[in-house]
Each structure stands twice: as C-alpha cells, then as structure tokens.
C-alpha cells in the first residue's frame, strides 16, 4: 500500500537526479504503481543517425519503472535498479517521448516492473521500446554494498 | 572478418553521436570485436544519491557493444541495438568509468555481445555492471522500419 | 498479416516439438499474434521445493511467444528464438499453468513478444512470471548458421 | 566465503530437482562460485527441427547459475532464480551439452551470475548460448511470497 506522501517522495527523488535535468526529462504523473516521464527531443541527445539515443530512452524508462516501484514502497525506503532489459522496436524518431513504468509485482524486497516508451511524431504516439525491470527496496543507501 | 577501415568506421560513427559528447564519453580503443569507451564522472550525470546514473553506464556499455559488433561487419553496414540487458552490481561510485564491449557471435545479420563496466575509485578498478546485447547489421537506415 | 493457414502452421510445428510432449504441454489457442499454451503440474517437472521448475515455465512461455510471432509471419517462414528474458514473480505453485504469448512488433526479420505465465491454485489464476522475447523469421533452417 | 559443505548442499538440492532427472541432466562439478551441468541429447528433448529445445538449454544454464550462487551462500540459505536472460547463438546441435554457471557478484541477498552453454558435435565443443542471471538467497522457502 502506498504511503500518504508517495507522490512527494517520488518527486523529491526525481528532483535530485541531475542526469534527468541534463536530459531535459520531466516527471509528468505519479500514481500508485504507475509513473510517466516525458522527454522532448533535443539534438544533444542524438545518436549517429539523428534519432534519440537509445541510452536516453532507456534512462527515462528505467526511472519511470524505479519510481513506479518506489510509489508502493514503505516509509523510509529508497529504490535502486537491480537490472533491466530493453527491446528497441523502432528508431526513436519524434518530437517528444514518453516513458510509462508500471509495477507488476510489489514485494517487500524486490519489485518487478514493465515499461513502454512511445514517440510522438506529427501528433501520433507509437510504441518504440519496451522494458522489463527488477527494482530493490533499500533501507539504507549502503545496503547494496553487502 | 573486419574491413581494412574498421577503426575509422567506428570512430566516424561515434563522432556523430552527440549524446556521447553530452555525456563526455571518449572512444578509447577499437580492436576487431572489442571496443573500450571511457567516461569521467560529472555531477550533471548523477542520480539521486550522487553516484553516476545507471542510464549513463548503460549508454556507454550499449555503444561499446554496438561498435564492437560494427568492427566485424562488412562494408556498408550500419549497426543498431536490437535489445540489451544490464545487471547493476554495485553503486557507480568513482572518478572515471570504463565500458568494454566484446563480440561473442558475429553473424551476417545478428551479433551477440557482452559488456563489462568498471569504476575507478582511488586508483582501483572494479566491475560495477554487466551487459548482454543483440546488435543488427543494416544495409540501409530504413531497414529496421519494416 | 497472417496467412490463411496460420493456425495450421503453428499447430504442425508445435506437434513436432517432442519436448512439449515430454513436458505434457498443450497448444490451447492460436490467434493472429496471440498464442496460449497450458501445462498441468506433474511431479516429474518439479524443482527442489516441489514447485514447477522455472525451466518448464520458461519453455512454454518461449514457445507461446514463438508461435505468436510465427502466426504473423509470411508463407514459408520458420521461427527461432533469438533471446528472451524472464522474471519469476512467485513460486510456481498450482495444478495447471498457462502461458500467453503476444506480439508487440512484427517485422520482416525480427518480432518482439511479451509473455505472461499464470498458475491456477484452488481455482484462482494469478500471474507468476513475465517474459520479453525476440524472435527471428528464417527462410531456411540453415539461415541462423551464418 | 563458501561453507565447508558447499558441494554437498548443492548436490543434495540438485538431487531433489525431479525436472533435472526428467531431462537427464547430471551435476558434473561444484566449485566455489562455479558449477557445471551436462546433458546428453535425447529425442524427447527436441524442438521442431530436431535440435535440443532452447527450454532444455535454459533449464541447465539456470540451474548451473543457481548452484554457483548457492555454493557461496551462508549456512541455511536456499536459492531461487529472480530472473534470467538468454541469448541463443546457434542451433543446439550436438550429442552432449554442457552448461557452466559462474558468480560475478555474491551479495548477502542477491547474486549476479553468467552462464555459457556449449555443444559437443563430432568431438568439438562450441558455445551455443549465454545467460545473465540474478539469484536470491532465502532464509525460508516462504520468503519470496512477501
């Protein structure tokens, strides 16, 4: 069950991610178990053919999945990515990109999430990538370093 | 078998990736089937705990795997990532990071690669992430859009 | 677009998989882009705690994804798994298991699929595993051996 | 650090896996952090083209990775697969197959493993598949059901 301040916790953590600011990503919505992040295209994020770099797509998908997991975690938890897998279904061509992360299983320790990235080209959204991810709830930051 | 200009082809493509310049990544070495990319830590790449964001790690691993695959592809080929999976083994703490991509199987169409990311903290390198990736050789840029 | 005989092609190929017979798996339904396989629990498929072995779950998910992809492929195509990733969300406890494979992207060469495995315990179905997979269409059996 | 009875613990657990007996798999060697499992080809494990089914390959790789992780876990631990990803590099043609699982990171809770499957055809071994997996140490069997 999400805590009363689940949205605030996600937004605070997102605000601390300087890499999200570097990308130009924006936390659009936080619901219990579902988070949406948007990213406008910018040439400084391009790969060799001028499309959005897959690394940028993966980064917002990873964050959307991570915050979706965090939104269901108990008080005092921090979230870290254990692993993820991404399939790139189409070149990332578009003016704006949207990553939606959803929790499939929320456990005391591990959460399993699924994510979908869509591109908006000429007003139409289409799916360009999918992610399957494992997140871990940590009580303290040092816990991963066992 | 790599073409005579395999290194030049990889370096040219890397140079076109504006996202690599945004990250501050550098193509260190290109050998047939093995590519190394380095990335110095910078606060604009940090996640919420001040470590390097996993998205930055994944991006240089993905590129190292992609160029390792490209280094063995035939004349006129372009490379695109089909999918990858990354396990984050430790927080990305360090002053400089190194991604090594190696080809496990080089096929006419698909290549399978493995990547390892290491962090240098106080002069010592240690592995922080591993990747398993599939790359595709394209004759034309439009080929993925079938 | 599926061929007229898409279901027959999937059923014929499934019938040739002796491993599916060894497991006791049954091809329940074949629709364009979606295939369901069922597997009753049997003690000869158990892991060390008496649950269904993850390998059996992965096998029916892989086949469900593969035949979902084949159902949309053109005449004369064979399907092979390029790679897959599975998250095991709960112990596989139940009397019968069901794997549903769906196509997310159907390309001339590569298809991206998602799969969900459910267990029926005391009459209630619940999701126990998810898969994300890449399938390849081959004209000839030897094509993967490039 | 492995316990004194690490090999016995792995062999006892392997012996309880009825699915391994159904496949015909054999636990060849158990060293701290590295386990090898062999599987002779049998037509009851075949896929539609007569090769070994990918599900059988994945099953022995998964078990090899799991027991490699268990070999380093503390007294009283059980091991469960959290997730794995497999790339199938070649058709599984051969008379005998060998899966080697190795631990890349052994943590109190999570272990990261890598696995390689090889096929022996006419006396020569060649790699046919690679796996990257996450394993979890459980104190009690019920721990995953949080």
pLDDT tens by residue, D19-42: 999 999 999 999 999 999 999 999
Q: Is the pLDDT of residue B17 over 60?
A: yes
Q: Is the pLDDT of residue C140 over 80?
A: no
Low-confidence ranges of chain A (pLDDT < 50): 141-146
Q: Is the pLDDT of residue B102 over 90?
A: yes
Interchain contact C58–D (C-beta under 8 A): yes
Question: What's the confidence (pLDDT) of residue A140?
Answer: 54
Buried b (16+ CB within 10 A) or exposed e, D14-33: beebbbbebbebebeebeeb
Question: What's the confidence (pLDDT) of residue C139?
Answer: 84
| % of residues, chain B, pLDDT over 70 | 95
Question: What's the confidence (pLDDT) of residue D146?
Answer: 46
Tell me the mean pLDDT in the region C105-121. Answer: 97
Contacts of D146 in chain A (CB under 8 A): 107-109
Q: Is the pLDDT of residue B146 over 70?
A: no
Question: What's the confidence (pLDDT) of residue C1?
Answer: 75
Question: What's the confidence (pLDDT) of residue B140?
Answer: 54
| Interchain pair A132, C127: CB under 8 A | no
Tell me the mean pLDDT in the region B1-29. Answer: 94
Interchain contact C56–D (C-beta under 8 A): yes
Interchain contact C109–B (C-beta under 8 A): yes
CATH class of A6-138: alpha beta
Residues 6+ apart with CB under 8 A from C45: C23, C24, C39, C52, C53, C56, D18, D19, D22
Question: ipTM of this model?
Answer: 0.93
CA distance C48 to chain D (A): 5
> 3.10.129.10, 3.40.1350.10, 3.30.750.24, 2.40.110.10: which CATH number matches C6-141?
3.10.129.10
CATH of domain D6-139: 3.10.129.10
Question: What's the confidence (pLDDT) of residue D140?
Answer: 54
Instruction: Give the global pTM.
Output: 0.95
Which contacts (CB < 8 Å, 24+ apart) does range A18-22 have?
A18/B43, A18/B44, A18/B45, A18/B46, A18/B47, A19/A59, A19/B44, A19/B45, A19/B46, A19/B47, A19/B53, A19/B55, A19/B56, A20/A59, A20/A60, A20/A63, A21/B44, A22/B22, A22/B44, A22/B45
Interchain contact B144–C (C-beta under 8 A): yes
CB pairs under 8 A between B and D: 34
Contacts of D132 in chain B (CB under 8 A): 85, 87, 130-132
Q: Is the pLDDT of residue C112 over 70?
A: yes
Residue B143 pLDDT class (50, 70, 90 cuts): very low
pLDDT tens by residue, C8-34: 999 999 999 999 999 999 999 999 999
Low-confidence ranges of chain D (pLDDT < 70): 140-146
Interchain contact C130–A (C-beta under 8 A): yes
Classify residue C72 by its DSSP letter: T
CA distances from C65 to A70, C79, C94, C114 (A): 30, 10, 22, 7
| Interchain pair B112, D85: CB under 8 A | no
Question: What's the confidence (pLDDT) of residue D102?
Answer: 98
| Interchain pair B87, D134: CB under 8 A | yes
CA distance C99 to chain B (A): 23
CB pairs under 8 A between A and D: 24
Question: What's the confidence (pLDDT) of residue C3?
Answer: 85
Tell me the mean pLDDT in the region B105-119. Answer: 97
CA distance B81 to chain A (A): 7
| Interchain pair D134, A136: CB under 8 A | no
């Amino acid at each position: 069950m999400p805590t009363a301040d689940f949205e605030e916790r996600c937004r605070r953590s997102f605000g601390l991610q300087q890499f999200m600011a570097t990308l130009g990503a924006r936390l659009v919505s936080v619901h219990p178990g579902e988070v949406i992040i948007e990213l406008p295209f910018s040439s400084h994020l391009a790969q060799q053919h001028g499309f959005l770099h897959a690394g940028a797509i993966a980064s917002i998908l990873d964050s959307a999945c991570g915050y979706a997991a965090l939104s269901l975690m108990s008080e005092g938890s921090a979230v870290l990515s254990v692993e993820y897998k991404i399939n790139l279904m189409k070149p990332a061509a578009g003016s704006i990109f949207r990553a939606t992360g959803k929790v499939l299983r929320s456990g005391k320790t591990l959460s399993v999430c699924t994510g979908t990235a869509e591109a908006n080209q000429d007003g139409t959204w289409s799916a360009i990538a999918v992610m399957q991810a494992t997140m871990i709830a940590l009580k303290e930051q040092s816990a991963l370093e066992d």
